[in-house]
Amino acid sequence: MMLRDFRIGWRLLLQQPAYSLVVIGGLAVGFAACFLLFGYVAFCLNFNSSIPDNGRVVVVKQRINVFPRPEWQLWALLSLRQVARDSGMVDESIMMKDIDMPLRVGTELRAMDFRVTDTAFRTLLNVHELQGDLQAALTQPDGLALTHSGAAKLFGSQSALGQSVQAGDVTLQVRAILPDPAANGSLQYEALVGIASSAWPARETAFTGQDRATLFMKLKPGASAATLTALLQDASERAPFNQRMKRGSLGKRLNGRNVADISLLPLRDAYFDEDMAASRTGERYGRRSNVIALAAGGLLILLLAAINYVNLATVRTLRRQREIGLRKLLGASTGQLVRQFLSEAVLTTMLAALLGLMLAWLLLPTFSDLLNRKLDGIFTPLHCAIALGFSIVIGLWAGAYPAWLAQHARPATALTGRDNSETIAGLWLRRVLTVLQFGSAMALSAGTMAVAWQTWYASHASPGIDVNRLLVLDMPFDAAGKPAADAFLDQLRRLPGVDAVSSISEAVGRDGFKLTNIIAARDGGEISIEAKQVSPNWFDANGLHAVYGQTFNPRMDPHDDKDSGGVMLNADAAIALGYATPQEAVGQPLPTGGAQIIGIAPDIRYQGLHAPAKALIYRVRPASVVMLRTSASVEQAYDMIAPLWRRNFPNAILEIQTQQRILADRYAADARLMRILAISSLTAIALAAFGIYVLSAYSVQRSRREIVLRKLHGAAGKDIALMLAREFSVLVAAGAIIGLPLAAVATQRYLASYTEHAPVGVWTLAAALLLAILVALLATTRHTLTAMRMSPALALKD
Amino acid sequence: MLKLVGVSKVHQAGEIQTTALDRIDLEIEAGEYVAITGPSGCGKSTMLGILGLLDVPTRGEYWFEGQNIAGWSEAQLNKLRRGRIGFIFQSFNLIEELTVFENVELALEYNGTPARERRERVTAMLNKLGVGHRAGHRPSQLSGGQQQRVAIARALVSGPAVLLADEPTGNLDSAHGDEVMRLLRDINAEGTTVVMVTHSPDHAAQASRTLNLLDGRVMVDALQAA
């Protein structure tokens, strides 16, 4: 390609600003979508790539089989760290554990990602301090290392090194500033202390007891991960705690399985680990199929935009027949002609790519928010260069057909101004492309509507309790039952405008803290049942009545840990314990401990609509999640409660949420999926609308003679409109045949993850079809009107 | 049957006015065979457009079968034209995407002719013009003469009272041109009024009446012996 070809292409773009704007704008949207989605794919594929030898660095995975819902977690017995070291198979083995404590600078408390780790952390992860001494930070009892952004969070622009930070009652000194960990990494932290730190309350007992932490190990070159796994598995099973479990009643239910399964997960493969994606923390992981689907979505949007470019460029090439004929007459070779058209296309796509990169940069914060990932790192010079290189490929591809048309133009015909339109095959190709556009747009819009409808349905489905005027706040985890918590709850009850205060071990709709009780069934066997610890007034405060029997007496002692006031079951638990009906269980003693079953609790959707109700036992115990029924807003409640909070929990941060917000958060991933689909379908619809607009322009131009002759023979305007409508409705119908079954299958698969779903039926498909028809109607109206207004006298001028 | 009274047609292009027809008075009786001749730009095609209800005069009156169409809307003209006027063009104006049969059927599609009757009439007309065996072909698969026969079949299939022909032999060789002229004579002999624009004095001489136009005015209006 020569500079002259680009210059001509540039002039052509300037001559037709509307055409240029539409073509470059459409392609830029495609490039932006593609860049962002491919950036996300790179984020996933390069997960943990900042860790040296990430194929040899493994994290220990554990699944405790005695739990009612065994699931994998990156959490194992701390003692396994030493087992690995003693095996001689690892270079390093470190632990990392959260310290659930905010940090204070002056009077300001900040929630931080605060962790304790070994000194070998630096060698294992190859971390180098930006300032200070990391070794000292991790070995001194008062040492603290902050990441760059952690330091900014605590100290703003002030220098953090050497400053004091309060962690509970302990004063720490900032001894090192570290770079921020890569956003696409398994290890995230803002503040670190060593295992000898006085800020780690469990420093004395953790390694002798049964504490657990996240364990990272670096295998020696050639060391067998399978051998080490077997070694750790054996050590885990032989650990005193697990031995007790195995010998106890739960051991019978294991049927030969391990108390806890142990596995090693290479950090290189961590992001796409299916076990972790299926766990409670699954949101932090990705499924390969989803990432591939998103990448395909990005390519599809770019393809749809490129199709529009091909369509528009084809129409323009057909209009330039006289120019092409003249060029040929003057001796332009096939190669020169093709080169000129390809140069024009490449110039257009490169300009679109530049605009697309700018668009992507503007949209990055929104996009990161949609995917719930920090994607700031995707704008690298290499990625931008790849995007521009890719635009050249797209330009060559999209310019090929117009170039082929130009090369096949017959100069004699073109110069006499007679018909020299593209072939029937070419027309069919462009029709097929338009059908693909409409198929995609319909599939995406039907999918969006189904997800939106189901998300709305699920987030508004009654959880089984009255969520109106219900606020939720978490007391510090270890505070429940202590004097400060009792005093705080008592003071809350006395606040004006507060109707009821109750507590529970975990908020309705949140899947965090879980308690499992082992209970003897009537047949002598033992089953594990999830337990909810509640205050005695919890049922009354939330307007709940027993299905059978009665609820707890609100005047009971909330510290009664002997179940002297009885326990409550839900219907599933009563059946699981061996009662023929839930009603039969009421008044009976629990085989273990003998506590009386005083009533059957109504079913409450603790897990939302993603999981069915399961067996539950309710016991009266101190609990840390406070449920507050008040007409005050969150802000008003904060103003009222903050003074009480500071008095009772000076080292904790007060956070108040509405119960409705917690329920909605349960569907945050669905809401994000809906937003991604909505943006994709709006883009696809816009591109399809534009595609059919261009096609209608071309069809009317191409059918001019037919239209005029039909009018000459008496066709009225509506007959012409019908003629064109028939052509376009066939395209929309073909798009529906391709897109709607895909949408139906995808919708069905999506809804299968819910226990209950909205009455979606075929409504979303019908709505997507209607939308497509409406879009096609609007997009073709202009040229249909032009056709209807064509004068039959034009027949005499042909 | 067709009557022009003081008809003028002025084309406006920006500030420039061009008079295509200038105060034309003309009456054409049913069954006449009229040839319009004259140099390029004299207003022949404009007159044909007005006679065919494709265009309206700027001034003057046009009476079509006793109705003054001055001020009529395009929809009204369209309705009046439907099935009553047939057209033949120099460039045939056949639609390449339609078969020969479908091209001819087009003329019956908008006047409410039932499908079965349409089939019968189209088949009969194609056979009459000797192109019945080409019914399933595309226009480009036919010779020029055959294409013009198809165009004539389309013009006649609705049984129009008037047939307007714009240079019907302009794109044909002399043998095919003569053949078309013979067909037009036969059509006129069967009672159809024929108005033909032509450059050819020989072909004009075959009409019963000749109009010679110059600068939008009728210079000669001569009856000829049949």
Residue of B nearest to A418 (CA): B91
Average pLDDT of the residues in A43-62: 90
Could you tell me the residue ranges of all domains in chain B?
A: 29-56+70-221
Residues in B touching A716 (Cβ below 8 Å) = 75, 78-79, 110
Tell me the C-alpha distance between A213 and A194, whole Å. 14
pLDDT of A479 strictly over 70: yes
Residue A412's pLDDT band (boundaries 50, 70, 90)?
low
CB-neighbour burial class of residue A340 (10 A; exposed 0-12, middle 13-18, buried 19+):
buried
The H or E element that residue A355 is part of is helix A334-371
Class of domain B29-56+70-221: alpha beta
Residue A493's pLDDT band (boundaries 50, 70, 90)?
very high
pLDDT of A537 strictly over 50: yes
Helix, strand, or coil (residue A617): strand
Q: At what angle do helices A668-702 and A17-45 cross, to 10 degrees?
A: 150
Name residue, tokens 């699981």. Answer: A576
Tell me the C-alpha distance between A625 and A622, whole Å. 10
Residue A795's pLDDT band (boundaries 50, 70, 90)?
low
Q: Identify any residues that bridge with A534 across adjacent strands, giving them in sequence order.
A: A504, A620
One-letter amino acid at A617 equals: I
Mutate to test the interface with A, among B81, B93, B147 (most CBs of A within 10 A): B93
Q: What is the pLDDT of residue B180?
A: 87
CB-neighbour burial class of residue A18 (10 A; exposed 0-12, middle 13-18, buried 19+):
exposed
Contact A709 B95 (CB under 8 A): yes
Contact B54 A717 (CB under 8 A): no
Q: What is the pLDDT of residue A316?
A: 78
Phi-psi region at A478: left, alpha or beta (left = phi > 0; alpha = psi -120 to 50): alpha
Helix, strand, or coil (residue A203): coil
Name residue, tokens 């308690």. Answer: A515
| Pair A508, A604: CB distance under 8 Å | yes
Q: Which residue in B49, B54, B75 is closest to A716 by CB distance? A: B75
Average pLDDT of the residues in A382-397: 91
Question: In this structure, what is the dihedral angle of CA atoms A174, A178, A182, A188, given to the nearest 10 degrees?
Answer: -30
Query: Any residues with CB less than 8 A from the CB of A608 and at least 6 apart, and which?
Result: A458, A461, A463, A509, A663, A666, A667
Q: What is the 3-state secondary structure (H, E, C) of chain B?
A: CEEEEEEEEEEEECCEEEEEEEEEEEEECCCCEEEEECCCCCCHHHHHHHHCCCCCCCEEEEEECCEECCCCCHHHHHHHHCCCEEEEECCCCCCCCCCHHHHHHHHHHCCCCCHHHHHHHHHHHHHHCCCHHHCCCCHHHCCHHHHHHHHHHHHHCCCCCEEEEECCCCCCCHHHHHHHHHHHHHHHHCCCEEEEECCCHHHHCCCCEEEEEECCEEEEEEECCC
Which residue in A793, A791, A784 sits closest to A723, CA to CA?
A784
Mutate to test the interface with A, among B11, B73, B74 (most CBs of A within 10 A): B74
Highest mean pLDDT (candidates A459-473, A553-567, A615-629, B51-65): A615-629
Average pLDDT of the residues in A708-714: 85
Q: Identify any residues that bridge with A265 across adjacent strands, giving them in sequence order.
A: A59
CA A599 to each of CA A510, A547, A548, A578, A580: distance values in angstroms, whole numbers, following the listed order: 25, 7, 5, 16, 15
Highest mean pLDDT (candidates A241-250, A553-562, A764-773, B92-101): A764-773
Q: What is the pLDDT of residue A331?
A: 62
Residue A452's pLDDT band (boundaries 50, 70, 90)?
confident
Average pLDDT of the residues in A577-606: 90
**Mean pLDDT of all residues in chain A?**
87
> How many residues does the structure list for chain A?
798
One-letter amino acid at A735 equals: G
Q: What is the pLDDT of residue A416?
A: 46
Residues in A touching B83 (Cβ below 8 Å) = 714
Q: Which residue in A705, A711, A715 is closest to B95 by CB distance? A: A705
One-letter amino acid at A524 equals: G
| Pair A150, A190: CB distance under 8 Å | yes
pLDDT of A774 strictly over 50: yes
Q: At what angle do helices A668-702 and A717-751 cross, to 10 degrees?
A: 160
Q: What are phi and psi of A712, to 5 degrees?
A: -60, -35
| Pair A528, A67: CB distance under 8 Å | yes
Tell me the C-alpha distance between A714 and B110, whole Å. 6
Query: A596-620: per-residue pLDDT in tens?
Result: 999 999 999 887 777 777 899 999 9
Q: Please tell me which residue, B49 or A175, carries the higher pLDDT value.
A: A175
Contact A705 B93 (CB under 8 A): yes
- Chain B: residues touching A (Cβ < 8 Å): 45, 48-49, 54-55, 74-75, 78-79, 81-83, 87, 89, 91, 93, 95, 97-98, 106-107, 109-111, 154, 158, 166
Per-residue tokens: A754: 């819910």
| Pair B109, A713: CB distance under 8 Å | yes
Mean pLDDT, consecutive 10-residue stretches, chain B (226 aa), reads 92 82 93 93 88 88 90 80 85 81 86 89 92 92 90 90 90 85 91 92 91 91 74
Average pLDDT of the residues in A402-412: 74
Residue of B nearest to A798 (CA): B91
Name residue, tokens 């860049």. Answer: A35
Query: Any residues with CB less than 8 A from the CB of A480 and at least 6 apart, and which?
Result: A503, A621, A622, A623, A624
| Pair A487, A643: CB distance under 8 Å | no
